[in-house]
Amino acid sequence: MSEGSSALLAVRNLKKYFPLKRTSLRQKEQLYVRANDGISLDIKEGETFGLVGESGCGKSTFGRVLLQLYPQTEGETIYYGRRPEEFQPEYRKKAPSNEPGIDLTQLKPKEMRLLRRDLQLIFQDPYSSLNPRMTVGQIIGEGVLAHGMFTRRDPGFSEYIVAIMEQCGLSPYMFHRYPHQFSGGQRQRIGIARSLAVKPRFVVCDEAVSALDVSIQSQILNLLMDLKQEQKLTYLFISHDLSVVKYISDRIGVMYLGSLVELAASKDLFQEPLHPYTEALLSAIPTTDPQNNRKVILLEGDIPSPVRPPLGCKFHTRCPYATDICKTDPPEFVEAKPGHYSACHHIDRVGEKTRRVS
């Protein structure tokens, strides 16, 4: 990705609230799981944007809302990958840079179907996301046929699928076999081939390697990076594992309890985290460096409920730097250094708790 690339997607104040079932007739207030609570970020054309945070912080929800697989409760998601002329005027949206874009939240299902091909998802679990009754060839070809790229009778159809399979490291003999006949790594390759066969522009990889052995993880990550290069893709790469995200991402966003707390170029985030939560996550990554005498921050307490998140800074119940203001005033998400954003009242203090002891 080159410096200053333009946005492929611009997300503004994205919220996703899941309504909770009322537990008694006397309960008047409708409660919500605030899975995504006002997220704003740009995903630049050609980059890999890594999204990290503990399990349950809202990463998968964000990936799915971005693709409009779940209806978005509030906010805008503007996609710049198509010309707005392809859509009716009321669905166009002026972008912050005055370039035209398409607000995905305003599209009707029929219009969204036009964009499904552009916007793909690679799932965490290759075991459950592949239909066991379909052959590998059928699985990979399904979307290709649905989007009218080929008809079943086209002489080039099978050749196209086999070419995609080979690109993803799958042998042609697998075409007529079933997914259960393959290992986890090969199944993930099938899932990747299925998504990439429709020639998308943007792919959400949700914990795409988390279910795999470490040795297979790096093969799949390398495959994803090669394919990105060859097909000029843009990725949102979601993982709970910071070391995986570091390996693949240009920029990284850190989420806590439905909010983005830090965003920076991957190198900057690892060199100098500017949010206490990121500092704690980084300190917990195992290292083999004997010179590294960095202290580990153990985050105490459980993650609070996203139904009634703490007031002020949501992280204050677990933050080693918290002061009174943190309990009442939510910190703003500010650009503390060029391209490096953080939401914390005490950015200047971050790093004190893990500073090397000599």
Ligand X SMILES: Nc1ncnc2c1ncn2[C@@H]1O[C@H](COP(=O)(O)OP(=O)(O)O)[C@@H](O)[C@H]1O
- The residue ranges that bind ligand X (CB under 6 A) are 18, 33, 35, 53, 55-61, 306
User: Whole-number minimum distance, CB 326 to ligand SF4, in Å?
Assistant: 3
Nearest CB to Mg ion, comparing residues 60 and 266: 60
Question: Which one of ligand SF4, Mg ion, ligand X, none interacts with residue 68, CB within 5 to 8 A by kind?
Answer: none
- Least distance (Å) between residue 310 CB and ligand SF4: 9
**Which one-letter amino acid corresponds to residue 142?**
E
Q: At its nearest, how many Å lie between ligand SF4 and the CB of residue 144?
A: 47
Instruction: State yes or no: residue 188 binds Mg ion (CB under 5 A).
Output: no
Give Cβ neighbours of residue 178 (< 8 Å, ≥ 6 apart). Answer: 132, 133, 134, 135, 136
In this structure, the number of other CB atoms found within 10 A of the CB of residue 214 comes to 8
Nearer to ligand SF4, 182 or 256 (CB): 256
Q: Which is nearer to ligand SF4, 29 or 300 (CB)?
A: 300
Query: Which tokens belong to 105?
Result: 């939240």
Instruction: Answer positive or negative: Cα dihedral of 314, 315, 317, 322.
Output: negative
Quote the CA–CA distance of 357 and 218 in Å, as a whole number.
33
Q: How many residues bind Mg ion (CB under 5 A)?
A: 1
239 binds Mg ion (CB under 5 A): no
Residue 33 partner contact from ligand SF4, Mg ion, ligand X, none using kind-dependent CB cut-offs of 5 to 8 Å: ligand X
Residues in the chain, how many? 358
**Which of 139, 144, 79, 142 has the alpha carbon at shortest distance from 112?**
79
266 sits in which H/E element: helix 266-271
Residue 95 is classified by DSSP as -
**43 within 8 A of 8, measured Cβ to Cβ:** yes
Nearer to Mg ion, 64 or 340 (CB): 64
As given in the structure block, the two tokens for residue 354 are 């893990």
Three-class DSSP category at 344: coil
Residue (38 or 169) nearer to ligand SF4, CB: 38
Nearest residue (CB) to ligand X, 2 versus 55:
55
In the complex, least distance from residue 356 CB atom to Mg ion, rounded to whole angstroms: 34
Residue of this chain nearest to Mg ion (CB atom): 60
Binding site residues, ligand SF4, CB under 6 A: 276, 313, 315-316, 319, 321-322, 326, 331, 344-346
Assess 120 for contact with Mg ion (CB under 5 A).
no
Give the integer Cα–Cα distance in Å for 173 and 175.
5
- Closest CB to ligand X among residues 35, 336: 35
The least distance separating ligand X from the CB of residue 309, rounded to whole angstroms, comes to: 11
Binding-site partner at residue 57 among ligand SF4, Mg ion, ligand X, none, CB < 5 to 8 Å by type: ligand X
Q: Which long-range contacts (CB under 8 A, 24 or more apart) does 302-311 make?
A: 303/54, 303/56, 303/57, 303/257, 304/257, 306/33, 306/34, 306/35, 306/37, 306/56, 306/58, 306/257, 306/258, 307/20, 307/31, 307/32, 307/33, 307/34, 308/31, 309/34, 309/37, 309/257, 309/258
What, of Mg ion, ligand X, ligand SF4, none, does residue 58 touch, CB below 5 to 8 Å by kind? ligand X
Q: State the nearest-atom distance from the C-beta of 69 to Mg ion, in Å.
A: 13
Q: How far is the CB of 207 from Mg ion (least distance, A)?
A: 6
Subset of 34-93 contacting Mg ion (CB under 5 A): 60
Q: How far is the CB of 239 from Mg ion (least distance, A)?
A: 9
Contact 57, 256 (CB under 8 A): yes
Binding residues for Mg ion (CB under 5 A): 60
